A and B are shown apart, each in its own frame.
Chain A
Amino acid sequence: MHIVVCIKQVPDSAQIRVHPVTNTIMRQGVPTIINPYDLFALEEALKVRDHHGGEVTVLTMGPPMAEEALRKALTYGADRAILLTDRHFAGSDTLATSFALSQAISQIGNSFDTPDIVFTGKQTIDGDTAQVGPGIAKRLNLVQLTYVAKITSIDLSARAITVERRSEGGTHVLKSELPCLITMLEGTTVIRRGSLDDALRAARSEIVKWNAAEAGIEDITKCGLRGSPTVVKRVFAPTPREQKAVQIDTTEKRVHDIANELVASIFTHQPALQHELSSAGSA
């Protein structure tokens, strides 16, 4: 069994401040961490490996300093770490990132062993798009199981996996074939603590470093800024709203009446909205 876990080194968002004048993110002095959602994915991958045997390869794309995140992943017990690093990757949006990662995963398949499962976190805490996992699945033509809360069972001989996927209003129990891509939800598990031996092994391990060519990427116009159609027009800190939240006592009145009063009060503040909605209703 070969499992690839895609991780990302991100600034610890709990410690990020936005500059009050320029509205830019102040990254200076902010420690970097492994994207917390990716740790749930990594722990799930390690559990699957411990139960079914095989290897866990962690993969990240980033600057040379992202090696730190990979070493940390090795201390948790990952078997192999690959850093995808090349100036051609700079400025990648989710489209270009998922392209580069999917190419690297194919190359991992060629160089080591074809992955049975590719894991990602459900999203990253810096971008928050949740697009990279599905983007990789699409490009590699893998079944995608997103927002997975739990892996219920894996039957290697039947090449089948059953998972619980959390969704609005309930839980989907999904059965799929392998290989597949899973994006893991938060709070599903706790990352294990590496031992002194693990820390030593991680420090002694060679991190495999691939540039675009070594990752098997031929068309570098699909990478980095050139391969990224997303344009950030403006970054700003939202201004606080003037209105405060109101707690409504529902013991005296009927919910229907409360709702009507609320709608009326919204329309008083925003007459344009009332106009827009009523014309939409008549159309």
Chain B
Amino acid sequence: MDFRLSEEQEAIRQMALDFARDELAPHAIDWDQQKHFPVDTLRGAAALGMAGIYVRDDVGGTGLTRLDAAIIIEALATGCPAVASFVSIHNMCAGMIDRYGTDEQRQRLLPKLLTMEVLASYCLTEPGSGSDAAALKTKAVKDGDSYVLTGQKQFISGAGESGLYVIMARTGEEGPKGISTFVIEKDAPGLTFGANEKKMGWHVQPTRAVMLDGVRVPAENRLGAEGDGFKIAMGGLDGGRLNIAAASLGGAQTAFEKALAYVQERRAFGKAIGEFQALQFRLADMATDLEIARTFLWRAASALDAGDAEATKLCAMAKRFVTDRCFAVANDALQLHGGYGYLADYGVEKIVRDLRVHQILEGTNEIMRLIVARSIIGRK
């Protein structure tokens, strides 16, 4: 076993790092302050193949692995973790359509997602169901050749701006087996959006509620079989969790590098503060945490690519560990900047704010522990 990236992985990493350095990092603070959703920049990333990372190439996808995706998302996140996270969400939706869609659905829906001419949002969470996703209440009632959807989705990234919504709704019994997945276009009558939520971080992407009031969806927009929706939703999430972890890692890496540069410049008591052993030890711990996080993230991603039976457990472990540790690293980086770390211009507080939500979404870190516990102790 060797833990080095292949030449191909090194090449895509470098390419994504260059994009992050040139196209994301210089604007990240402004976008955050202005709450600007950089759709043009996202389309620029799409033109380079980053909107269909694991979509097969017959429809123009890049056809890469989950490990490759984790490498790309981490690299993008060094420029802006919140933009990288949106790229991840969009890729998760595209990946679900690629994996579970019929050939007709793939040909019809994927090309415009791959250019990001149309953005995609993932709609699982509801006002009354987050962690307990299988309790969702949005109903889809079959009516002739179509379904009529009624309900509400909550905390939807990109909502109002996205053109395509991948929505989980109940077509049958209570619990996970009664759920199906639908793809709905923005202009569908009865589909409306709530106000843009005021959030702690992730300012570069809008978050809104999605309201469905008798939205008629043709049956050809159902993804997979009736009742497969929960499986499809969770299938997308394993990879989504790796990407959110990767986004934390990229953000924390940048915060760490900013802190490393700062302690060598900032002087106190007659020397650079980086010469104080207490701060050197802190930096050593941060660097170690980043290495551990990265190594384990790649391990989980490789397991998912290999179809390992333990992949879901490993992905949950990785999501919990990496997002927790990386938040701590970013927060430490802020502390090392002293009062300047609290100022927006230094870019560290933004990373801390952006990374905080990674411990909550794509399954809270408490639910990650539940997944791990169930897999090692068994479900009681």
Interface residues of A, Cβ cutoff 8 Å to B: 71, 75, 193-200, 202-204
Contact = CB atoms under 8 A, between A and B. Distances in A.
Max chain A Cβ within 10 angstroms of own Cβ: one of B14, B15, B19, B72: B15
B343 interface: no
B178 interface: no
Nearest to B49: A196
Nearest to A201: B11
Contacts of B268: none
B14 A196 contact: no
A203 B19 contact: no
A203 B64 contact: no
Nearest to B23: A193
A197 B11 contact: no
B49 A202 contact: no
Given A193-B48, A196-B50, A203 B62 contact: no
Contacts of A197: 49, 62
Max chain B Cβ within 10 angstroms of own Cβ: one of A75, A193, A196: A196
B293 to A, nearest CB: 24
A203 B68 CA distance: 14
Contacts of A196: 12, 15-16, 48-50, 53, 62, 64, 72
B8 A203 contact: yes
Nearest to A198: B15
Contacts of B22: 193
Given A194-B48, A196-B16, A204-B7, 15 more contacts: A71-B11, A75-B15, A194-B15, A195-B15, A195-B48, A196-B48, A196-B62, A196-B72, A199-B8, A199-B11, A199-B12, A199-B14, A203-B8, A203-B10, A203-B11
Interface residues on B, range: 20 to 34
12 contacts: A193-B15, A193-B22, A193-B48, A194-B15, A194-B48, A196-B62, A196-B64, A197-B62, A199-B8, A199-B11, A200-B8, A203-B11
Contacts of A199: 8, 11-12, 14-15
B8 A204 contact: yes
B18 interface: yes
Nearest to B57: A197
B47 interface: yes
B18 A193 contact: yes
Given A203-B7, A203-B10, A203-B11, A195 B49 contact: yes
Contacts of A194: 15, 48
A75 B8 CA distance: 11
A194 B10 CA distance: 14
A204 B9 CA distance: 11
B91 to A, nearest CB: 12
Contacts of B47: 195
Contacts of A195: 15, 47-49
Interface string B53-64: 100000000101
Given A193-B48, A194-B48, A195-B47, A200 B18 contact: no
Contacts of B50: 196
A167 B35 CA distance: 47
A71 B12 CA distance: 12
Nearest to A200: B8
A193 B11 contact: no
A193 B19 contact: yes
Shortest Cβ-Cβ A-B pairs, 8 listed: A196-B49, A203-B11, A199-B11, A195-B48, A199-B15, A203-B8, A203-B7, A195-B49
A197 B62 CA distance: 7
A197 B50 CA distance: 10
Nearest to B50: A196
A35 B329 CA distance: 37
A193 B44 CA distance: 10
A110 B303 CA distance: 49
Contacts of B48: 193-196
Interface string B70-105: 001000000000000000000000000000000000
A200 B12 contact: yes
A94 to B, nearest CB: 31
B11 A75 contact: yes
A209 to B, nearest CB: 16
A195 B60 CA distance: 13
A193 B10 CA distance: 16
A193 B16 CA distance: 10
Contacts of A200: 8, 11-12
Contacts of A203: 6-8, 10-12
Contacts of A202: 11
Nearest to A74: B11
Nearest to A197: B49
Interface string B1-40: 0000011101110111011001000000000000000000
Nearest to B47: A195
A195 B15 CA distance: 8
Contacts of B53: 196
Contacts of A193: 15, 18-19, 22, 48
A23 to B, nearest CB: 26
Nearest to B72: A196
Nearest to A204: B8
Contacts of B15: 75, 193-196, 198-199
Interface in B141-196: none
